[in-house]
A = this chain, B = another copy of it.
Amino acid sequence: MQNYHMSPEQFRKEGKKVIDWIADYYEHIEKYPVLSQVEPGDIKATLPESAPQKGESLDEMIKDIDEKIMPGITHWQSPNFYAYFPANTSFPAILGDLISSGLGVQGMIWATSPAATELETRVLDWLAEMMGMPEKFKSTSTGGGVIQDTASTSALTAIIAARERATKFQSNKKGNQQKLVAYISTQTHSSIEKAIKIAGIGTDNMRLIDVDEKFAMRTDLLKTQIQKDKKEGFTPFFICAALGTTSSNAIDPIKEIGEICEAEKCWFHIDAAMSGTAMLCPEFRHFQNGVELADSYCFNPHKWMFTNFDCDVFWVANREELINTFSILPEYLRNKATESGEVFDYRDWHIQLGRRFRSLKLWFVIRHYGVEGLQYHIRKHVEISRKFTSWVHESDDFDIFVEPPLNLVCFRHKAGDDFNMKLMNTVNETGKTYFTHTKLNGEIVLRMSIGQTNTEEKHVKATWNLIQKKAEELLNNKI
């Protein structure tokens, strides 16, 4: 290793070891405690305080992963992972991403790798069709899609474009001077609040609209609030609807909110981070009736569509508004293709300049599963969730907190908040399963979020049995 590089020959050997390591991991993933059991500082304490002067072998690194890193891993790819939202993946996604790492190209503008731009455009048009999206979201119409890292970034991108549009494209130049006001529900994801801060709007200018008994935004209150704000000299500019809130998977009334946006000239963003994937199945599309009124829409194939992080799909109805907001063209990036106007330069569709070739993994996933394979798995997860819901309904000790529309089940033991927290921690500490909680109407609620790639009914059944068993033991003071 005269020049310190790993040679292609060595890479063939080491790479195959890593492939086997990953296959082994998935074959034995159920042996690990789902939730890492380490204490703060445990992992760091095993790692040297300084970098090595001389190079080390890959075998040493893999050994350290096994011994030092694995104890600190919470296994998001375990079929027994039901916490938060899924961040599922699949082998085809991993291989698509591997090729992206290998090619190591930058797709910031068309010219820096035309295939990276054109594959992304095509695959996102595929997806729009697969999900029954309005024509205007396609690149062949006025809009188009772009892959962002996360739904947080998509929300921020939408808010900045909305801010610009509302100020007649002056806020980028003059800063935020108008009294702009944004609307979300009390259940909207925290990323919108974060984006409102970043965009210089300020949370004082963000209205939290209360929700109905299903935790969906109340449009009567939305309307009232907008009228009040307008009277006080504010300019409503942005409304976000959730297609599946994080706490309870509540679905805001898309059509009604869209009509209000249209009347009030507000930017209408739909955050479908997890549940958007369900739109692959025609029978779930009624949840987004009115989607044709949206200015932007995002969902994360890296949550429920078997595509490893990061991969958030962000569609806009009018790409010119987006490009006018984010476009930059320093001399060192000038090129013939950009000047021809015939290409998309995706750096102008988001915040970052540099960008990875992320459409490869999405392309691999869609082609490996086909539309029917993806539908099969989404339907299966929803079906399992319905079974879990029925088991809870049948139980004397637990209640379903709100009927689940899709794959997130909110339930609760009748013995109160403290008991539920204790129950959750007790079950999670077994390492056999991992689920998390939220608060709804001020009460602690347990969440089973069912969407990991390999989750089958038997896994959910085992978790339900374990939850019941631990609840009984806790009630009987056996633990």
Contact = CB atoms under 8 A, between A and B. Distances in A.
A76 B8 CA distance: 17
Interface in A11-65: 11-12, 14-16, 18-27, 36, 38, 40-44, 47, 49-56, 58, 60-61, 65
A99 B203 contact: no
Contact of A53 (B41, B171, B175, B371): B371
A330 B20 CA distance: 39
A454 interface: yes
A353 B173 contact: no
A224 interface: no
A402 to B, nearest CB: 15
B52 A371 contact: yes
Contact of A204 (B10, B174, B351): B174
A87 to B, nearest CB: 5
Interface stretch (A117-125, A235-243, A263-271, A285-293): A117-125
A331 B202 contact: no
A99 B160 CA distance: 35
Contacts of A331: 247, 437-439
Most B CB within 10 A of own CB, among A47, A83, A116? A47
Contacts of A198: 156, 160, 198-199, 351
A288 to B, nearest CB: 19
Contacts of A58: 92, 95, 364, 368
Contact of A42 (B65, B87, B114): B114
Contact of A328 (B6, B47, B56, B193): B193
Contact of A372 (B54, B93, B308): B54
A93 B163 CA distance: 39
Given A102-B22, A200-B175, A118 B308 contact: no
Nearest to A159: B198
A370 B246 CA distance: 43
A112 interface: yes
Contacts of A122: 44, 47, 49
Interface in A84-129: 84, 87-99, 101-106, 110-116, 118-119, 121-122, 125-127, 129
Interface residues of A, number: 157
A150 interface: yes
Interface stretch (A66-74, A209-217, A458-466, A467-475): A66-74
B18 A98 contact: yes
Most B CB within 10 A of own CB, among A92, A153, A343, A377? A92
A307 to B, nearest CB: 10
A98 B356 CA distance: 15
A247 to B, nearest CB: 6
Contacts of A363: 61
A178 to B, nearest CB: 10
A149 interface: yes
Interface in A190-210: 190-191, 193-194, 197-205
A310 interface: yes
Nearest to A12: B23
A3 interface: yes
B21 A12 contact: no
A168 interface: no
Interface string A154-179: 00100010010000000111111000
Contact of A364 (B61, B71, B197): B61
A376 to B, nearest CB: 6
A416 interface: no
Given A52-B371, A176-B176, A204-B175, A16 B18 contact: no
Contact of A366 (B52, B105, B332): B52
Contact of A22 (B99, B113, B191, B309): B99
A342 interface: yes
A114 B38 contact: yes
Contacts of A415: none
Interface in A422-471: 436-439, 447, 453-454
Given A129-B50, A367-B61, A328 B453 contact: no
B99 A98 contact: no
Most B CB within 10 A of own CB, among A15, A160, A436? A15
A191 to B, nearest CB: 6
